[in-house]
Amino acid sequence: MCKYHEVAKVVEPKIATMRSAEAEFKIASKEKNAAEERMAIVQGKLDEMQAQFDAAMAQKQALEDAAAATQRKMDSATALLHALAGEESRWTAQSKEFDSQIQRLTGDCAVASAFVSYLGPFNKEFRELLMQRDFYGDCVRLGIPVTNNIQVTKFLVDDAEVGEWVLQGLPTDELSVQNGIMVTRASRYPVLVDPQGQGRQWVQNREEANQLKVTQLGDKQFRLALEDCLAFGKPMLIENIEEELDPVLDPVLERRLVRKGKSWVVQLADKEVDFTDTFKLFCTTRLPNPHFTPELSAKVTVVDFTVTMAGLEDQLLGKLILKEKHELEEQRQALLEEVQSYKKKIKQLEDDLLFRLSNSQGNLLDDTQLIDVLAVTKQTAQVTPGVVGLPGGKLCRAG
């Protein structure tokens, strides 16, 4: 008992302290739980406010992106309006003219086709007579809409291509341009009546980059040269022909092609030769008034390249300036090349612009490439008139 009493005296204060601590622990636990509940409420509010903040920031970013996109569209619209300034009236007039041209297209195509097919052997005056009296007159009599006094050169070729021909040595007069059209557009191979060699020189300059083969019917290597050009698609110029051609050329002139697998062949006498569609054939004669047989005339396109007074003047002027003022002739040639370069660039830009306008999907303001093409086209168009107007004055001073 004494020991129990002694132990109890030691333990009881500790038990009392423990019970007091337990009571304090329960109170602290309740306070802790209450604090955790309050913290959970605050955390919920914080999460809600964070979500609201994130939503507000996302909305802010979306508004900024929309504002930037709108600004880009405004810039594009401004650029588009600037690029198209002054074009509306011209395009409207052209649209009306196109509607009218479409109505006359059948007749115009018929006249142009007849021109290329049948008028090559004649001079300028007789070509104009047949065009107006017969071709145009027949269309009118048959009730086919057709353009009166149609400019075949404008109908069949653009200024950029004519400029290329001029740089290659073709005179600038109307007859020479017509001849150039017949040589390049006719479906039959051309025979050039070329006493002065003007057409031959132009063909040589034009086809030089394509590995033109120049030969004559009497050349010992003529047959081999023909086979080589046919097989590899090279152009061939046969000079100084008379009033008849070698019969070996008949299958070529008549395009008697036979399909062999994936390729074409043509029968030359007893030999089959591969045919490549890039092959071109030109013939020239120095006879001033050749009498070709009807059979030959039906196989080829005869083109009268006899020099005209205007063409002769152009040649003589060039030779005179080249002899008397060599540096001016070089300057003239450089200016012509610059003018042609600008004309060609304008044509390419216009074609690219029309292609993009006709194939643009969705909002035009979103097509940045179209805006860039418009801007470059307008800038080039503004520069070109000054450059195009430059050579004339300098040529006058040269003369």
> Which strand ranges, in their side-by-side order, compose the sheet holding 271-275?
257-260, 263-268, 271-275
Inter-axis angle of helices 326-359 and 309-324, nearest 10: 120
Residue 87 lies in a domain: no
SS3 of 150, please? Answer: coil
Q: How far is CA 198 from CA 115, 214, 243, in A?
A: 22, 15, 19
Same domain, 188 and 303: yes
86: left (phi over 0), alpha (psi -120 to 50) or beta: left
**DSSP 8-state symbol, 242:** -
DSSP calls for 254-268: TT-EEEETTEEEEEE
Which residue type sits at 134? Answer: D
User: What's the confidence (pLDDT) of residue 383?
Assistant: 64
Same domain, 286 and 374: no
DSSP H/E element including 312 = helix 309-324
Residue 106 lies in a domain: no
Q: How far is CA 360 from CA 92, 254, 345, in A?
A: 20, 44, 22
DSSP H/E element including 213 = strand 213-216
Of 258, 280, 307, the last residue of a domain is 307
Same domain, 276 and 192: yes
Residue 382 lies in a domain: yes
Domain of 249, CATH number, reads 3.40.50.300
Which residue type sits at 261? Answer: G
DSSP H helices in 119-221: 124-129, 137-141, 152-156, 159-167, 174-185, 198-207
Q: Report d(CA 300, CA 193) in Å as an integer.
A: 12
Q: 303 and 193 in contact (C-beta within 8 Å)?
A: yes
Q: Report d(CA 274, CA 263) in Å as an integer.
A: 7
Joined tokens for residue 249: 């050329």
Same domain, 286 and 348: no
Q: 339 and 347 in contact (C-beta within 8 Å)?
A: no
Closest by CA position to 376, among listed 346, 356, 340:
346
pLDDT tens digits, the chain, 399 residues: what are they?
777 767 777 777 878 888 888 888 888 888 888 888 889 898 989 999 999 999 999 999 999 998 988 888 888 778 777 767 666 677 777 788 888 889 999 999 999 999 999 999 999 899 999 999 999 999 999 999 999 888 999 999 988 889 889 889 888 888 999 999 999 999 999 999 999 898 999 999 999 999 999 999 999 999 999 999 999 999 999 999 999 999 999 999 999 999 988 899 999 988 999 999 999 999 999 999 999 999 999 999 999 999 877 777 777 777 787 777 777 777 877 887 787 777 777 777 777 777 777 777 777 667 777 777 777 776 776 665 555 544 443 443 333
Residue 157 lies in a domain: no
Joined tokens for residue 368: 């940045």
User: What's the confidence (pLDDT) of residue 393?
Assistant: 38
Same domain, 333 and 379: yes
Residue 78 lies in a domain: no
Same domain, 242 and 294: yes
Residue 103 lies in a domain: no
The structural domain count of the chain equals: 3
User: What's the confidence (pLDDT) of residue 343?
Assistant: 75
Q: 371 and 82 in contact (C-beta within 8 Å)?
A: no
Same domain, 337 and 296: no
Of 280, 307, 334, the last residue of a domain is 307
Give the alpha-carbon dihedral of 56, 58, 60, 63, to 10 degrees.
-130
Of 307, 335, 353, the last residue of a domain is 307
- Residue 243, classified by CB atoms within 10 Å of its CB into exposed (0-12), middle (13-18) or buried (19+), is exposed
Q: Report d(CA 125, CA 170) in Å as an integer.
A: 20
Q: 308 and 124 in contact (C-beta within 8 Å)?
A: yes
User: What's the confidence (pLDDT) of residue 382?
Assistant: 64
DSSP H/E element including 78 = helix 2-84
Same domain, 214 and 290: yes
Q: Report d(CA 97, CA 107) in Å as an integer.
A: 16
Residue 195 lies in a domain: yes
Kindly tell me the number of DSSP H helices and DSSP E strands found in the chain: 15, 8
Q: Report d(CA 388, CA 391) in Å as an integer.
A: 7
Same domain, 303 and 216: yes
Domain that holds residue 31: 14-66
In sequence order, what are the beta bridge partners of 264?
A: 259, 275
Q: Report d(CA 130, CA 137) in Å as an integer.
A: 9
Q: Report d(CA 210, CA 232) in Å as an integer.
A: 11
Q: Report d(CA 65, CA 17) in Å as an integer.
A: 68
User: What's the confidence (pLDDT) of residue 392?
Assistant: 41
User: What's the confidence (pLDDT) of residue 395?
Assistant: 42
Residue 158 lies in a domain: no
Same domain, 225 and 329: no
Same domain, 302 and 203: yes
Residue with tokens 């019970």: 19
Same domain, 274 and 213: yes
